[in-house]
Structure 1
Amino acid sequence: MAKIQVILTQDVAGQGRKGDLISVSDGYAKNFILKNNKGIIATPEELKRIENQKKKDEKRNEEEKKKSIALKERLEKEKLVIKVKVGENGKLFGAITNKEVASELEKVFGIKIDRKKIECSIKALGEHKVTIKLHPEVKAEITVVTKG
Structure 2
Amino acid sequence: MEVILRQAVENLGHPGDVVTVSNGFARNYLLPRGIAFQATEGNKKRIAQEKARLEQAEAQRRDSAQDIAKKLEEVSITFAARVGEEGKLFGSVTTGDIADQLAAQGFTVERRQIDLHEPIKSLGVYRVPIKLHADVKPEIKVWVIKQ
TM-score (norm. length: structure 2):
0.80
| Equivalence for 1:32 | 25
Q: Secondary structure at the match of 1:54?
A: helix
Task: Give the structure with the higher percent strand.
Answer: 1
- Whether contact under 8 Å (1:82, 1:145) holds in the other structure is yes
1:77-96 equivalences in 2 (<5 Å): 77-87=74-84, 90-96=87-93
Alpha-carbon distance in 1 for matches of 2:10, 2:114: 30
Measured against aligned partners, the alpha-carbon deviations of 1:28-83 in whole angstroms (never above 9, x if no partner) come to 22x22122224221222211111111111111111111111111110111211223
Measured against aligned partners, the alpha-carbon deviations of 1:113-132 in whole angstroms (never above 9, x if no partner) come to 23222223422223221111
User: How large is the RMSD of aligned CA atoms in angstroms?
Assistant: 2.2
Q: Name structure 2 gaps, 5 residues minimum.
A: none
Q: Name structure 1 gaps, 5 residues minimum.
A: none
| Equivalence for 2:71 | 74
Alpha-carbon distance in 1 for matches of 2:63, 2:19: 33
Alpha-carbon distance in 1 for matches of 2:15, 2:27: 14
Give the one of 109, 115, 122 matched to 2:111: 115
Task: Give the deviation of 1:112 after TM superposition.
Answer: 2.6
Q: Secondary structure at the match of 2:78?
A: strand
Alpha-carbon distance in 2 for matches of 1:89, 1:42: 65
Alpha-carbon distance in 1 for matches of 2:75, 2:20: 53
Give the one of 139, 142, 145 matched to 1:144: 142
TM-score (norm. length: structure 1):
0.79
Alpha-carbon distance in 2 for matches of 1:34, 1:40: 10
Task: Give the deviation of 1:100 after TM superposition.
Answer: 1.3
Larger radius of gyration: 1
**1:71–1:8 Cα change, 3 Å:** same
Identity rate of aligned residues, in percent?
34
Alpha-carbon distance in 2 for matches of 1:90, 1:10: 49
Alpha-carbon distance in 2 for matches of 1:92, 1:134: 29
Give the one of 98, 103, 113 matched to 1:101: 98
